[in-house]
Amino acid sequence: MNHEEGKQTPSELSNDKSRRKLLKSASSTLTLLLNTAAASAMETLIEEGSDTETNFLPSSPEQFNTVISVQNSPTPSARVLCADSEEENRISIFQRVAPSVVYIDTFSEKRDVFSANVMEVPIGSGSGFIWDDEGHIVTNFHVVQEAKSAQVAILTQFSGNERNPLISARKGLDLKDATVNPFTSARPGALGISGTSSAVTGFTREIFKAKVVGVDPTKDIAVLKIDAEKANLRPIEVGVSQGLRVGQGSLAIGNPFGLDHTLTTGVISGIGREVKSPTGRPISNVIQTDAAINPGNSGGPLLDSSGRLIGMATAIYSPSGASAGVGFAIPVDTVKYVVERLIQNGQIVRPLLGVSILDSQQARQALGITRGILILEVKPGTPAAKAGLRGLRRSENGIVEIGDIIVAIEGNSIEKEGDLFKAIETFEPGDVVKVTVNRPEVDINDDGTPEIKLKEISFSVRLIASDDTTFLQR
């Protein structure tokens, strides 16, 4: 059918109107879908708190305070994920206590082979916790035992006045550029981006040089001190360990394998355990827990189900070196006693008997002594020597005579070294104690043959102090 050029038939006009309506409808639908997708993405971002502090740097204090208040408030998704009040309680405890837990790096000194310069070389890391608002940090002695220096990383809350809240001022390190990260053994990403805490929202990391206030190797306890503002320190809430019962809940927070502020949970598996300190002396009344404790947890807090400190992680029993569900913590009652005296005096003064002893296992294997502790030497000039106690000695004819064997202190039976240390530590330097010993003596039988018999004798001995120069210098 022929038509004039540039004109449309009624059929073509109708089709053109239909196409325009279809395009208009499609455009409206596309706009609606885009708006819906954008709203959904924004809602997801707000609900999950996904990288809010990483993707958004507030340009004003007002915006910053708004961001922090949103991050610190319970989100809808968080409420949905918490299945019960027990989970919410654990989360609440962690958020409250985590800022009290610190990350400790230790260093030794090494001289450069090509120059006379002395360099600091990292040798290890551990955990600790803030004791008070004076900057005292409590950790294990073995964490800092070999160190020449140490640094402590703490979590501090954003004040809202920082120019850039994601960059912490590394105070105490004399760094010219605050954006430069000092060494840390923490694994990449463990402390969050630009020093912010990946575990506790609204907090950033600050690192301080630490000085040693005092140590007690026999209890594996050390006290450090950092120069931090009181407002940035969150002392841990101290509980009690007396009266703990097997089956109670326990939580451990620490830095295992360089992963900062790791929370593990379990129960108190046993009480009254005994572990050896770095000096070889036993630490008594130790708490056993199945909350996972791994290398790096040393010095970290063990908490009860209310978030109070009940112990300090110190050791694990494991064939592999990693957690096997048997961890040990020094009871907080012991920690508190030692820490308070270290802060006050810088040292712990303990009572001593003034004698050196032979390891009980060696005495049993080599000499057949089945009971008590053999005295090797009695220090000259000490009250023990004046009281009449004897150690190993050689007679005029060259025969080695066995010394006294301690079998009781104030009536308490002594079977091994741990019994002796525990019995002595219940007293103070200067106290007089009753020491009962078995003294070997040679008797001549009726047939003229010599026979060694043990004669039980008691002595009154005044205990000396562990810093007594008369004992230490001889």
Show Cβ contacts of residue 423 under 8 Å, excluding neighbours closer than 6 positions: 409, 410, 412, 414
Beta-bridged to residue 196, according to DSSP, are: 204
Annotated catalytic, 132?
A: no
Q: Quick one: DSSP state of residue 235?
A: P
DSSP 317-367: --SSSS--S-EEEEEHHHHHHHHHHHHHHSS---EE-SEEE--HHHIIIII
Q: Where are the beta strands (DSSP E) in 217-281?
A: 221-226, 249-254, 262-276
Q: Out of 100, 105, 127, 142, which one is annotated catalytic? A: 142
Residue 374 CA to residue 256 CA, distance in Å, equals 41
Identify which of 48, 96, 95 has the alpha carbon closest to the alpha carbon of residue 76: 48
Copy the structure tokens of residue 418: 């741990």
Torsion angle, CA of 406/410/411/416, rounded to 10 degrees?
Answer: -40
Annotated catalytic, 142?
A: yes
Q: Quick one: DSSP state of residue 422?
A: H
Q: Out of 125, 168, 298, 360, which one is annotated catalytic? A: 298
Annotated catalytic, 298?
A: yes
Handedness of CA 37, 38, 41, 42 (dihedral sign): negative
Q: Quick one: DSSP state of residue 426?
A: T
Alpha carbon separation from 264 to 35, 201, 241, 256 (Å, rounded): 43, 19, 19, 10
Inter-residue contact 332 to 309 (CB < 8 Å): yes
Q: Out of 220, 304, 333, 404, which one is annotated catalytic? A: 220
H or E element, residue 284: strand 282-289
Indicate the SS3 state at residue 201.
coil
Catalytically active residues, by annotation = 142, 220, 298
